[in-house]
Amino acid sequence: MLAMALLLLPAFWVGLRIFGFKWFNDWLSRAPARGKPSLAFDEITAIGSLINSATFHLLGPDNCLTRSLYLQWLLGRLGVTSDLRIGMQLAGGELKAHAWVEIAGQPINDAHDIAERYTAFNQAFATQLDLSK
């Protein structure tokens, strides 16, 4: 799984840059899921940690949106339904954004209190959401 992440994370970064969030996210959501999930919550959070740690070994650029999109896609392929969350924070007069993945309101690839530090949009980003408006 680590080797796959090391290979695919750069492709996800490039895909976001070339096609944009909406198109790329729509395309990713077409990947078929595999049956019912057979993973425990601890196993799912371990996958999130593995994806985060893979980014330390990448030669190319990395960001939270790329990691989170990749994790959500991977979990979907494993039959696990998750939500991509994007939040904002005003720090030192600068607006910052951050992305993470949640299952039942619990962060998978971030700190348990991330939603307290970043104000998340009221809904998870669905594939139908048009960010161009």
Give the per-residue pLDDT at 129: 44
* Domain with 58 in it: 2-120
Q: Is residue 130 one of the residues assigned to a domain?
A: no
Q: Is residue 35 one of the residues assigned to a domain?
A: yes
Average pLDDT, 10 consecutive residues per value, the chain (133 residues): 89 94 92 76 94 82 90 92 92 91 94 91 55 48
Q: Which two tokens stand for residue 78?
A: 């494993």
Q: Is residue 103 one of the residues assigned to a domain?
A: yes
pTM of the model: 0.84
Q: Domain count of the chain?
A: 1
Burial of 1 (0-12, 13-18, 19+ CB in 10 A): exposed
Q: Is residue 125 one of the residues assigned to a domain?
A: no
